[in-house]
Amino acid sequence: MKIAFCGKGGVGKSTIAALLCAGLREEGYQVLAIDADPSPHLGRLLGFEDSEKLTPLSEMRDLLAERAQKQGPYYTLNPRIEDLPERFMLTRDGLRLMVLGAIREAGGGCACPEQTVLRRLLSHLILTAREAVVVDMEAGVEHFGRATVVPMDFILVVTQPYRGSLETARQILRLARELRMERVFVVGNAVRNEEDEAFIAESLGVKPVISFPEDEEVLRAERQGRSLLEVRGPCRERARELVRYLKTHGA
Ligand SMILES: Nc1ncnc2c1ncn2[C@@H]1O[C@H](COP(=O)(O)OP(=O)(O)O)[C@@H](O)[C@H]1O
Ligand SMILES: [Mg+2]
């Protein structure tokens, strides 16, 4: 399954993406995590200490162009995860990490080429039933404009129970509808009680499929720079539930 995390900056996309990777691993999935945030830190949350040395996926563009020249207009990216070039990937304990990267000029510039590489990669990858790709998207809605999300099986829209993040979530839900995406689910974060949960449901017109609480363990791990893969506690439990939910609501 291919899963993308979207939402406003700071709502907990990377945190929940990392926790989901942990949950998927536990269920026996081989996981490819892709950090598509221009200021990447998913690698750190997953305990990869050398992730800044990784060749960003955006540089695959040259590789793709090279192959296209040699082999005609349809570039032949091998569609299996294990065939992706090693230099774009870090691997540890059944978990792989790729970083999209985005070099933008100050005062504007465009992430279009990066989004194109990512979209092509995502739509080409053929996964077995025991493989999962988890993409931590850039905050906001640019990847909807570029239709980067279209190859995904699941869009998880993370929101907290406050207006700013709900506004972004609403925008994402609308754009996803326009793209006719089917499995678009709201995930609550920092949800304290039923009132918070109800506020999200009322604001968006749909209930969160899972809500994550504020979690001391997550907070502590972040402060100490520890991997979220090791975190136990309520958020990890919710991540497990989220895996079960996705498994039963797939295509
Ligand atoms: N459920 C949670 N409990 C405790 N802290 C959290 C939780 N979710 C996110 N955080 C913290 O909030 C901050 C922002 O989360 P992050 O995942 O980086 O957001 P985003 O990727 O959406 O920008 C981080 O410091 C993270 O540790
Ligand atoms: Mg993030």
CATH of the domain at 42: 3.40.50.300
The segments of the chain whose pLDDT lies below 50 read 73
* Residue 38 pLDDT: 85
Domain count along the chain:
1
Q: Select from 211, 236, 238 the least CA-distant residue to 221.
A: 236
Q: Tokens 């994402």 label which residue?
A: 172
Residue nearest to atom 5 of ligand 1 (CA): 219
Residue nearest to atom 2 of ligand 1 (CA): 214
- Cα of 78 from ligand 2 centre, angstroms: 29
Find the domain containing 230 and state its range.
Answer: 2-248
- Cα of 186 from ligand 2 centre, angstroms: 17
* Residue 84 pLDDT: 78
* Residue 187 pLDDT: 98
Q: Select from 245, 169, 215 the least CA-distant residue to 3.
A: 245
Probe target for ligand 1 pocket from 5, 8, 14, 15, with the most ligand atoms within 8 Å of CB: 15
Query: 16 with 189: CB under 8 angstroms?
Result: yes
Say how far apart CA 122 and CA 11 lie, in whole Å.
24
> What pTM was estimated for this model as a whole?
0.92
